[in-house]
Amino acid sequence: MIWKEDVECLPICELKQLQGDRLAKLVKYVYSNCKVYKDRFDQLGIIPESIKQIDDIGRLPFTTKLDMRDHYPYGLFSAPRNALNEIHVSSGTTGNPTLVGYTKEDLALWSDVMARTICCAGGHPDDIIQIAYGYGLFTGGLGFHYGALEMGLTIIPTSSGQTRRQIKIMQDFQPRILCCTPSYALHMAEEIAALGLDPRKSSWEIGIFGAEPWSEPMRQEIESKLGIIATDVYGLSEIIGPGVAQECQYKDGLHIYSDVFYPEIIDPDTGKPVEEGQDGELVITTLTKKGIPLIRYRTRDIVSINHEKCRCGRTSPRISKIKGRTDDMIIIRGINVFPSQIEHVLLGIDGVEPHYQIVIDRGASHLDQIDILVEMSPEIFSDEIKQLESLQKKIKQEIMAVLSVSANVKLVEPNTIARSEGKAKRVIDKREI
Amino acid sequence: MAKQINIFIENRPGRLESITGILSENNINIRAFTIQDRGDFGLIKLIVDKPQQAHLILADRGLACALKDVLAISIPDKPGNLHRLTKILSQQNVNIVDTYGFVLEPGSKGVCCLEIQTDDDRFSRLQDLLAEEGFEILEDQQLYEL
């Protein structure tokens, strides 16, 4: 079924009209409610009334993650703090975290796009849904929760972790839909097999997997191991959280809800649009958000787009799976990590910058593992094993505190981390994604 | 006090060989060694005939290493003697951080190297007690020229 058939299947010309009307309204709204945008428009000589149709969007300036950091906490908001019903925080690149906030209307929007998402994946209001994304400041758990609530599903809010318990709950309540990261789905398949059970006999029939990049071979592996249909969901907290785009049963691109999240694909260097079907950076404008609407937000995700109507009947364009990043962000178990954050932690320890390397791999458990190799240097070397161990522990704890990611810290000998032209290769990603 | 060289080393094949190689090239004689292992890494502790020189060479080759004072005590190689030593330490409430021993002349003489946690006062009292009990604290040259 299609949750909002009237907008999701809207004829292209009417969709463009709707997007244009919404953009015109949005520009006026941010101009009169957000000083950062007002100043920027004034500087560029943009008169809000001159933005009338969707094709005028190219005249507007981009918004970046740096803007969110620079105007932390509320500078980029268009609604006052007391109009916000909920806020979510994720760790930023360095220094300030990224704050997003939702007004009541925004929460209704989130519920709506998440209901569209669950429907798009094949969900039905009669279904039981197991939500194994983390609940809390991370948007994954609550986003799915709101969508399932909107649709009227029976929700099992297991949140992430406690795998044995997740399996027991699946056996006892027979949910048809599983939501988690794709690597966690594989991990659960292994655990089910380890219990002497057949993962193919699990009650799950549909998986909605996201929050980390994954490949077609990984999809096939999940589908064959768990005997389910594995679909991809895309989102980012700056835009709304999960619920920006979702695959339908044809799994031929992710439908992006362009009536509310207007997508553009640009050349990251020139900022100009690329040809249809070419790879480029995804830029999104939140056409109807009230709390923190963003104009032409640079997601840094590289995708291609297809505007053809889908066999499922939806006219919303489809983006490809994420093909890469324009920055050095890495995603570990659904959490965004920038190498600069790790560098920042290391710099804070005894004030020296050691040579380090980040190695990411998926071990036998299928879960992302992060090793941080820290080179011994005369500054941090201690001739006592106890102090070396406490250094190791301290780095691990600091990284946990800053990134909420558990890392293995490995102390290595001096000059063992390869340096290319004097600069070490900081990140080695061995995951096949 | 005697000097010991502590070297940071990763726990993987060939690492010890690279260190013995450097020492061998430079004609440095190893009197005793031990390894404190912590899984991925460890510390190699060496007593050599030319500690200062060996330290410089190893540091020059990019190894993380340090020269450290250790208490090297000569012990007669007879039953009960190590116990006499540990008893003194225990009575003085001195904690041992790391220790290792080796026999120099079977049936006659052994050496116990000790890294201990203590303050200066207690250390000088300990030295006196050890001397009273007939233990000899070996100085640099005595140890290296054994």
Query: B85-109 pLDDT, tens per residue?
Result: 999 999 888 999 889 998 888 888 8
What is the rounded distance in angstroms from the CA atom of residue A38 to the CA atom of residue A124?
43
Highest mean pLDDT: which range of A118-132, A200-214, B75-89: A118-132
Task: Specify the pLDDT at position A64.
Answer: 95
The residue in chain A having the minimum alpha-carbon distance to the alpha carbon of residue B63 is A414
Confidence at A272, pLDDT banded by 50, 70, 90: very high
Range of the domain at A380: 332-429
Provide the pLDDT for residue B7: 94
pLDDT value of position A427: 85
Q: Which residues of A274-295 are buried (b: 16+ CB within 10 A; e: fewer)?
A: beeeeebbbbbbbbbbbbbbbb
Do B117 and B56 share a structural domain?
A: no
What digits encode the pLDDT tens for the residues A340-360? 788 888 878 775 667 888 899
Asked if pLDDT for residue A241 goes beyond 80, the answer is yes
Please tell me the distance in Å from A384's CA to the nearest CA on chain B: 8
Note the pLDDT tens digit of each residue in A15-46: 999 999 999 999 999 999 999 999 999 999 99
Summarised one tens digit per residue, pLDDT across range A355-393 is: 888 899 987 777 888 999 998 887 778 878 888 888 899
Contact flag B42-A385 (C-beta cutoff 8 Å): yes
User: Do A10 and A154 share a domain, yes or no?
Assistant: yes
Closest CA to A237 of A428, A401, A87: A87
Q: Can you tell me the mean pLDDT for A63-89?
A: 95
Q: Is the domain of A217 the same as that of A356?
A: no
Question: Measured between alpha carbons, how far is A228 from A222 in angstroms, rounded to an integer?
Answer: 8
B140 and B77 in one domain?
yes
Do B128 and B88 lie in a common domain? yes
* Cβ-based contacts of B9 with chain A (< 8 Å): 413
> In Å, how far are A232, A250, A307, A314 from A311, measured between CA atoms?
17, 8, 12, 8
- Chain A residue with Cα closest to B69: A383
Task: Record the tokens describing residue B77, joined without a space.
Answer: 């190689």
The residue that leads in pLDDT, A21 or A338, is A21
- Based on the fold, state whether residues A176 and A200 are members of the same structural domain: yes
Which three-class secondary structure state does DSSP give residue B52?
helix
Please tell me the predicted confidence (pLDDT) of residue B9: 93
CB contact under 8 A, A385 and B43: yes
- Residues of chain A contacting B18 with CB distance shorter than 8 Å: none
Q: Which of B69, B86, B115 is the last residue of a domain?
A: B69
- The 10s digit of each residue's pLDDT in B25-64 is 999 999 899 999 888 999 999 999 999 999 999 999 989 9
- Structural domain for B102, as ranges: 70-144
CATH number at residue A354: 3.30.300.30
Residues A395 and A257 in one domain: no
Q: How far is the C-alpha of A38 from the C-alpha of A159, rounded, in Å?
A: 40
Same domain for A165 and A273? yes
CA distance between the termini of chain B: 15
The pLDDT of residue B107 is 83
What confidence score (pLDDT) does residue A39 get? 98
